[in-house]
Each structure stands twice: as C-alpha cells, then as structure tokens.
C-alpha cells in the first residue's frame, strides 16, 4: 500500500528544527519511504495522492502519562498534594475496575490523537486494558506496567514477574510495547528496584520511574542513606539500559552528572510541575549535557490536559523565565522535545521524525489561519506552530499510514459516547 502526501511544508521534528517547504512525503507499508522537496521527489507511480493545504509534522510522543486518570480530571482542584492523594485520588483508584481503565484510556487516547499525539508512555493499573484501548483508537503506546506496594495488590515481587512475562509475550510490531514502571525510590524498596533494573536490562525493556518530582520526597532516603535519590539509584545498580525518569525537577549538578554518565533519559512535565507547584526542572542544563529529554503531559488529573503541543509552549516559556533569557529554549527545540527528542528519550528511533524508515505517524496542521501569518521564512511555520497555533489546528492524523483522525473527528471511536460513559463512571468512583 503506497500513499503520497503533498504539503505546504514538512516539519521534520529534528533538533535543528528543519522545515522543508513545498514538500512530498511517501508512505509504503506504514513506513516513510521518501520525504523532501516536491521538486526532487521520485515519480509517484500508482500511489494514492493526498494533497494537504497545511504542514505535515511527525506524530507527537508523550513521554509520561497516566491517561486513564481522565476519570479524575479536575477533582480535588486546589488541594495540596498530600490531601489531593489521600482524600481524592486513592479512594477513587481503590474502586477502579479493569473496564473503567479501558474506557478511560480509549477516551483519553482519542483525545490525544485529536491533539496530534500518536504515542504515549503510560504508567497505570490494568496494562492489558490500556493495550486493548489503543487497539480501538489506533494509537501506539509504551506501557510501563506499574510496580507499587499497595494494599489489595499482589506482593511487589509477583508484580515484577507478571510485568516481565507480559512484556515478553507481546509481538514487537511497534504498536504496543510493555516496559516496567516501578513507581519511585520512595515507594518501592531498593532491593526490588535493583531486581527490576536487572530484569529490564536483560529483556531490553524500558524502565520508567518518577524521580525528584518534589523538593521533599527524597528527604527520608537522604536521612537514611546519606545520598540523593539519583545517587542512591546509581549505588543500587538501577541506572543503565533504557531508563526513563519522569520529572527530575530537584536535581543538582552531581545528580545531572549521574544522568549523563548512565545515559538516563528524562520525561519533562512542565504543566504538571507548574500546576502542583513542584518547581521548574533544569531543562537547559540537561540539554547542554546531552541528556535525552522528552516532554510528558503527566496524568490528566495533574495537568489537566493531554495537549503536548501546549506543554511545548509552556516548556519554552518556563525555560526562558528560569534562565531569564529569551534564548534559553527555541521554538524548534520545544517542538523537538515533543517529537524527535521524545522518541529518543523513550528509546524508540522508529518514531518522532519525518525521516525515511520511520513509522508513518503523521499530523496535518491546517495553516490557513491568521495564527500562521506572516511567513517570511519557512521556519516561521514552526515558530507559529509552537507560539500562536497549537493543537486546535490539527485536522488529520495517521498512525502507520492509517487515518485515525479525519477533518478533526476520530475515524475509529465515538468520543461523544465515551464522554457520557466517563461521566457515569467518574460519578460512581467519586461516590462515598
């Protein structure tokens, strides 16, 4: 099956912010087989041609999410974190059924696709139901099966065994990938973290955990062990392999040195960190050290959107404010953090850029709006996309060359029906 797209421009999703005007992109069997200026394109042959008035970008990659928490969106608004968890989130999560998770992930996945997000890294209960949900919507996901000692859950060693079995059982077709998601160093015993990391390395799995989200979460560990959480993880052989650490807000130079040394990637979640007043992560320092960084929304109960492009704008704004410099993060870098950079961060070189051999996850942004003028240089399109355009101009989305959003509407699921279902389930979960 061959498709040829023509577009006003291609936004490649690389670190340099390459924009190719008057472009052609060919798709063969779900992969990008050619991308570049129309004047240099090979003969189209028998390919079906799709003419697009706007720009074509890579499908965005959300590096950290708990998307089924759309069930809890806005709940506990304004409460401090500890009360928000104890009084609002945990009682609801204790009542969650597998069906709740599947319906919620289906709705959230459709919402992400409508925002141009084609892949998300998920850490949430009932991972098989998350996989089933993206099977309905047509998105991709990397599911870091959560490992956390909680009442009502199996012992954590058993959780780990199950997570590794699940990861081994799935065919590697690039649609659903399983990793392991030990929640954090302050909730999961160090011995289990060490064992999890060994299993992840042995099986090539993504190990995803929360690190240094708040200023105080590592205080007990520091008092007991005399080490920061990054140093403690290094000392217990948790780093190395495909490690993706969410947040990393409160990191000093020595911690960043460890991330650089062990090639630990970061899921930067500026919207969640701002909403929960956690702080501003040292993004520029990470990038200058060559640390791999991708943007994440975090869960929709702590963002509350699933709009990664909005978070790219916020990432640039916060980096500039924190550095008191308008050059602290360019629009091109902000977009890269949501696309090519995020794909690198999660260890998926098949995603995130419009480049030959990568999967044809494509987003068409309609640029026939005042928000996209003027364009003196093709790069202006990318700047407008980040600063004035945003995801409300996303019109069409393809995953592996398959249309999943057409003219702003899902082609795979019924968002109105899902919304009603979410409302009913959320009311049941909130009932005391």
| Part in contact with Zn ion (CB under 5 A); list of ranges 30-38, 282-290, 297-305, 422-430 | 297-305
Closer to Zn ion by CB, 23 or 276: give it: 276
| Per-residue binding letters, 341-360, with Zn ion (x by CB under 5 A) | --------------------
Minimum distance, C-beta of residue 150 to Zn ion, in the bound complex (Å)? 15
Q: How many residues in the shown chain lie near Zn ion by CB under 5 A?
A: 1
Minimum distance, C-beta of residue 38 to Zn ion, in the bound complex (Å)? 42
Closer to Zn ion by CB, 126 or 358: give it: 126
Closer to Zn ion by CB, 276 or 385: give it: 276
- How far is it, in rounded angstroms, from Cα 301 to Cα 258? 31
Minimum distance, C-beta of residue 260 to Zn ion, in the bound complex (Å)? 23
Q: Which of 4, 2, 15 is nearest to 341 (CA)?
A: 15
Minimum distance, C-beta of residue 224 to Zn ion, in the bound complex (Å)? 24
Residue 81 burial (C-beta neighbours within 10 Å; 0-12, 13-18, 19+): middle
| Part in contact with Zn ion (CB under 5 A); list of ranges 179-187, 198-206, 290-298, 373-381 | 290-298
Yes or no: say if 411 and 96 are a contact pair by the CB < 8 Å rule.
Answer: no
Please, how many CA atoms are within 13 Å of residue 255, restricted to the half-sphere of its CB? Answer: 21
Closer to Zn ion by CB, 23 or 147: give it: 147
Yes or no: say if 321 and 310 are a contact pair by the CB < 8 Å rule.
Answer: no
> SS3 of 145, please?
strand
Binders in 183-242 for Zn ion, by CB under 5 A: none
Helix-helix angle 156-169:190-203, to 10 degrees? 10
Yes or no: say if 419 and 85 are a contact pair by the CB < 8 Å rule.
Answer: no
CB burial string 23-40: b at 16+ within 10 A, e below: bbbbbbebbbbebbeeee
Chain residue at closest Cβ approach to Zn ion = 298
Closer to Zn ion by CB, 100 or 298: give it: 298
Minimum distance, C-beta of residue 216 to Zn ion, in the bound complex (Å)? 17
| Per-residue binding letters, 89-118, with Zn ion (x by CB under 5 A) | ------------------------------
For 362, the token pair is 């494509």
- Give me the residues that bind Zn ion (CB under 5 A), please: 298
């Amino acid at each position: 099956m061959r498709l040829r797209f023509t577009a006003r421009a291609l936004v490649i999703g690389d670190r340099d912010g390459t924009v190719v005007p008057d472009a052609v992109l060919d798709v063969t069997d779900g992969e990008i087989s050619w991308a570049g200026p129309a004047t240099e394109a090979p003969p189209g042959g028998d390919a079906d041609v799709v003419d697009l008035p706007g720009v074509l970008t890579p499908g965005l990659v959300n590096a950290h999410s708990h998307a089924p928490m759309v069930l809890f969106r806005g709940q506990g608004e304004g409460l401090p974190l500890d009360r928000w968890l104890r009084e609002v989130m945990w009682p609801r999560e204790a009542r969650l059924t597998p069906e709740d998770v599947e319906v919620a992930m289906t709705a959230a996945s459709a919402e992400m696709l409508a925002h141009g997000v084609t892949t998300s890294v998920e850490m949430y209960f009932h991972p098989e139901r998350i996989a089933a949900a993206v099977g309905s919507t047509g998105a991709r996901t990397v599911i870091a099966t959560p490992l956390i000692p909680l009442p009502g859950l199996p012992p954590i060693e058993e959780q780990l065994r199950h997570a590794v079995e699940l990861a081994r059982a799935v065919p590697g077709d690039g649609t659903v990938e399983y990793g392991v998601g030990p929640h954090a160093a302050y909730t999961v015993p160090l011995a289990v973290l060490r064992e999890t990391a060994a299993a992840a390395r042995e099986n090539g799995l993504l190990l995803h955990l929360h690190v240094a989200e708040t200023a105080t979460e590592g205080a007990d560990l520091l008092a007991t062990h005399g080490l920061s959480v990054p140093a403690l993880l290094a000392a217990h052989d948790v780093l190395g392999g495909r490690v993706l650490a969410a947040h990393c807000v409160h990191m000093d130079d020595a911690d960043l040195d460890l991330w650089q040394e062990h090639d630990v990637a970061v899921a930067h979640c500026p919207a969640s960190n701002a909403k929960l007043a956690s702080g501003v992560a040292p993004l520029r320092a990470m990038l200058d050290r060559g640390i791999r960084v991708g943007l994440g929304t975090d869960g929709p109960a702590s963002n509350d959107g699933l709009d990664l492009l909005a978070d790219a704008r916020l990432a640039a704004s916060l980096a500039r404010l924190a550095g008191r410099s308008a050059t602290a993060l360019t629009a091109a870098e902000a977009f890269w953090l949501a696309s090519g950079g995020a794909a690198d961060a999660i260890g998926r070189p098949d995603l995130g850029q419009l480049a030959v051999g990568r999967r044809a996850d494509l987003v068409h942004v309609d640029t026939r709006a005042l928000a996209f003028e003027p364009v003196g240089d093709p790069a202006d399109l990318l700047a407008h996309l980040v600063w004035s355009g945003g995801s409300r101009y996303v019109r069409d989305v393809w995953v592996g060359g398959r249309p999943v959003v057409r003219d702003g509407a899902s082609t795979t699921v019924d968002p109105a029906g899902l919304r009603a279902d979410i409302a009913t389930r959320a009311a049941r979960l909130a009932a005391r």
